Structure 1
Amino acid sequence: MVGRTRAWEATMVFKVDVPPELVQGDVDEGYGPVADAFRRNFAERGEVGAACCVFRDGRKVVDLWGGYRDGRSRAPWREDTLVTVFSTTKGVSGLAVAVANARGLLDYDATVSTYWPEFAAEGKASMTVRQLLSHQGGLAAIDRPLSVTDLADLDVVAAALAAQRPAWEPGTRHGYHAISLGWYEGELIRRVDPAGRSLGRFFAEEIAAPLGAEFHIGVPDSVDPDRIAHVHGFRPAEMLLHMGTMPRGFVLGFLNPRSVTARSFANPKVLSETGNYNLPEVRRLELPAANGTGEVRAIARAYADAATGGAVLGLTPATLDALVRPAEPPSGGLHDVVLRVDSIFSLGYVKPFPRFRFGAAGNQAFGTPGAGGSFGFADPETGIGFAYAMNRAGFHLWDDPRELALREALYRTVLGERTQHPDPR
């Protein structure tokens, strides 16, 4: 019955007509093309509900929202609507690790076992923090079965992570750690934080609070659920209809329960379907790689601080330099054994590469896209902090046409920078 309900929702929301008066917000003078692209997303690209925010040099220049936070009930997306952003959460969590680095609590080039001795089990003693954060550790899939109840107990999760044997020699290959990256980051934060806080609590107190930004890694019960946008997701089998959009190898791997691709997204299985992130018991968990929920402007605000020197967060020049410098790819090349395409990661972030060009031409930008189409990033070259999120899940791994239209309007039309479209070669 649940599956039939989700299928009905997906069919229905693709047909939702959003009245122009439900598209709201403001842009500074000169940023009108971004607002135009945002409106066209509703008129031409099937947008149901979404928000986009841009800061430049610390000033908010774009703040847009519109449509329906729930396409079923036609409840409007409001200025304070919160939305789950899937893997866009990874970049937000990466800022927590960056703050720890800036405070001298954690060295990117130290071994993980320096801070977490139990991690050394199963041949992981020499793995560095940098390798782990760059998806090179071979720990994308966790073999020990985990339940939703298990995930609420960070000690249980930590034991499963420490016991995992790498799927390849760290540093030789990489593969997207879709869910597990956040758990590993979270345990690192717990180990190095003098107060022993979880990543969600560390983020709330050391990043969200100083920025005045509402974003939760693990939604507390105090948040009114009516403020949270309903994710209109899709069943995994529907990806077969979109293999011209999603990489064929990724789709086939995702649907093969024995593959590393499927196992990276499906422990526990409830996490493998986007629509299940509407469940209160999933929202409540701390999934630092997957279930961050908040205002879109909060993501842009956090990235804006990183893009302009990190004064509020206390980021040091050395930490910022580590984030902007080119990635150190694995020795075996750029093929991602989980996503089944080439990719580039560095310190918890995606870095620009020819098939995914974002930010200015110097490639200093860093950020993460999320399932369904969301994206947030910092671009120190232009002083930009950018974020977009929606509640109708699309089928692109990155460069969802709705998000790309906004980014292209910002960079090409407003800033006069390079095109954001991928290099076709």
Structure 2
Amino acid sequence: MTELNGTVSPAFEPVRDAVEEQLRSGAEVGLSLAVDVDGRQVVDLWGGHRDATRTRPWQRDTITNVWSITKTVTSLAALLLVDAGELDLYAPVARYWPEFAANGKQHVQVRHLLSHTSGVSGLDRPARLEDLYDVRAAAARMASQRPWWEPGTASGYHVLNYGHLVGELVHRLTGLPLRDFVDQHIAQPLGTDFQIGLRDADAERVADVVAPALDFDPSALDHGTAAYKTFTGPSFGAGAANTPAWRAADLGAANGHGNARSVVGTLAPIARAGASAHGRFLKPGTIGLVFDEQSGGTDLVSGLHVRWGIGYALPDRRTLPWIPDGRIAFWGGWGGSMAIMDLDRRMTIGYVMNNMGADILGSQRAAAYITAVYRALATGNPT
């Protein structure tokens, strides 16, 4: 039997049972799951394997590409600048990045970037994945483009370019590449093992992603839609995440590397009114901005019904019925990984795995674990 390691508080034993069931069935290859309740780590589990052939065990310090959970950390970087008074969410992007005003984007505001409503959700064609690895050049191309829909009127998921847009603001304000800002101002102060991209020294402890049986094929989409333009601007497959070029890049939308413990440690200050083990990290008022709803409806790119706040999705039972209503901010990574910050319960949940499901957001496995977490919290003493 595949070994599951780690600890859970007594009330959360059913969460361990749910994970063991998925490992036993073979649905999981390797994973980590962590839950923090007001600074108490009530779940810290890891197990399975780092590889599809199930020969290398998933260790406590194993990390993997977490796909769009990366966006939650990029959003946190922007919130830090808002918290410091350096970034105004309601200011035009062009105040900080003058070139972005080109082609009718002079009225696009910072909040539009952070809520996927900017109209710039990818590169105009022709575009190759390699184009995104030159972050400054790709951002310049985006700044010169005409928006693909009227900014602010709807969301269109910024699949691979969210980090280019938000990261360019970080760079303009601080002089630092996004990955360095995250390392110096988020990961190091919080003491978390999270990085955008991958340092060479950490290559030996990375779990490769196991791509879904069928990669997404955008060719069937209407070629005039924002969805087609996004998924071909550029096209990419899940296997790209296992390549050295992907891992070396500064992709604040999709190539963060970490595990559930590091995701939770990084995001827990949001759920805990800005508090961290090392002192105040954010002001409560800044966190409140997350819940300023920017859009709600069918996303033009993902096709999901999504409510976007500032930097994070807000609960919407039409899409994920297993996330309750309330002051919850969340997002997930392609294939099923999840990051949930529940302010009402001062709880943060992180789930990271390598065996990707077919869904853009969430999975049956994620639903089973998170349902078990909420049930345990409701019925038992979290300590």
Task: Output the TM-score relative to the length of structure 2.
Answer: 0.92
Which runs of structure 2 are paired with 1:62-141 in the superposition (5 Å)? 62-72=43-53, 74-141=55-122
The equivalent residue for 1:361 is 325
The equivalent residue for 2:208 is 230
Residues in 1 aligned to 2:263 and 2:231: alpha-carbon distance in whole angstroms: 24
| Paired residue total | 376
**Matching residue within 178, 198, 202 for 1:219:** 198
CA shift, 1:49, in A, is 0.7
**Matching residue within 197, 201, 224 for 2:180:** 201
SS in 2 for 1:170: coil
Amino acid at match of 1:217: I
The equivalent residue for 1:59 is 40
Amino acid at match of 1:229: A
CA contact (8 A) 1:234 1:273 kept: no
The equivalent residue for 1:49 is 30
The equivalent residue for 2:311 is 348
CA shift, 1:257, in A, is 6.5
CA shift, 1:157, in A, is 1.8
CA contact (8 A) 1:359 1:379 kept: no
CA shift, 1:151, in A, is 3.2
Tell whether 2:297 aligns with 1:316.
no
Quote the sequence identity (%): 36
Residues in 2 aligned to 1:216 and 1:400: alpha-carbon distance in whole angstroms: 24
Q: Deviations over 1:345-397 (max 9, x none)?
A: 122211111222465532x1112111111011211111111100111110122
**Matching residue within 238, 248, 257 for 1:293:** 257
Moved more, 340-349 or 276-285: 340-349
Residues in 2 aligned to 1:326 and 1:171: alpha-carbon distance in whole angstroms: 13
CA shift, 1:123, in A, is 0.5
Residues in 1 aligned to 2:21 and 2:131: alpha-carbon distance in whole angstroms: 43
CA shift, 1:311, in A, is 2.9
Tell whether 2:378 aligns with 1:411.
no
CA shift, 1:258, in A, is 6.3
CA contact (8 A) 1:45 1:402 kept: no
The equivalent residue for 1:13 is none
Residues in 2 aligned to 1:147 and 1:252: alpha-carbon distance in whole angstroms: 19
Residues in 2 aligned to 1:266 and 1:166: alpha-carbon distance in whole angstroms: 16
Residues in 1 aligned to 2:85 and 2:284: alpha-carbon distance in whole angstroms: 13
In structure 1, list runs of 5 or more residues that go unmatched. 1-18, 241-249, 418-425
CA shift, 1:274, in A, is 0.8
**Matching residue within 308, 321, 327 for 2:293:** 327
Residues in 1 aligned to 2:266 and 2:141: alpha-carbon distance in whole angstroms: 31
Tell whether 2:230 aligns with 1:264.
yes
CA contact (8 A) 1:55 1:62 kept: yes
Q: Deviations over 1:10-38 (max 9, x none)?
A: xxxxxxxxx24x21111122111111111
SS in 2 for 1:378: strand
CA shift, 1:72, in A, is 2.1
Residues in 2 aligned to 1:320 and 1:198: alpha-carbon distance in whole angstroms: 24
CA shift, 1:204, in A, is 0.5
CA contact (8 A) 2:335 2:356 kept: yes
In structure 2, list runs of 5 or more residues that go unmatched. none
**Matching residue within 335, 341, 348 for 1:378:** 341
CA contact (8 A) 2:322 2:367 kept: no
Task: Output the TM-score relative to the length of structure 1.
Answer: 0.83
Q: Deviations over 1:203-225 (max 9, x none)?
A: 001010011111111212222x2
CA contact (8 A) 1:231 1:277 kept: yes
Change (3 A) 1:221 1:239: closer
CA shift, 1:147, in A, is 4.6
CA shift, 1:100, in A, is 1.0
